[in-house]
Amino acid sequence: MPTEAQWEYACRAGTTTKYWYGNTQDPTKMNFGESKIGKPTPVDKYAANPWGLHDMHGNLYQPCEDHYDKDIFPEHLDRDDPVNRKGDFRVMRGGAFGDIQRRCEAAYRGRDANPTTPTVARSYFGLRVVCDVPEKR
């Protein structure tokens, strides 16, 4: 899973707006409550952000490696270990298909029980996988 900082960096894709496409929610660009679909959609239903990533806003919440603490975000973490590992909840990013627009903004930090345990199942959880890409030489 991505760290919380990695997730937001990927979501914004070089932008500084609430959504990668601007500051106003748009049901033609993401699956959220105002889209009135009421369920998850296939990953390629909406356009990708400038870095080719789909569904960074809405559709399904994506858990991050970090645990949730309302007072800790990347600039407050130890440089040697930039992941917050304390807390009972996992940071969730991106919003989901039934959410209000604010929960789908790039900077919104949600929380839920640790979705990586077998006892937790939610219809609004997804998973964003990250991996290292070797440098081209």
pTM of the model: 0.82
Taking 70 as the pLDDT cut, the residues of the chain under it are 70-82, 113-121
- In this prediction, residue 104 carries a pLDDT of 96
Q: What is the pLDDT, as a whole number, of residue 54?
A: 95
**pLDDT confidence of residue 109:** 87
pLDDT at 70: 66
Q: How many helices (H) and strands (E) does the chain have?
A: 1, 3
* SS3 of residue 6 by DSSP: helix
Tokens of 7: 């997730």
Q: What is the pLDDT of residue 116?
A: 58
The domain ranges of the chain are 1-137
As a whole number of angstroms, the distance between CA 46 and CA 60 comes to: 13
Task: State the fold for domain 1-137.
Answer: paralog of FGE (formylglycine-generating enzyme) (3.90.1580)
| Nearest to 72, CA basis, from 62, 61, 82 | 82
pLDDT (0 to 100) of residue 111 = 79
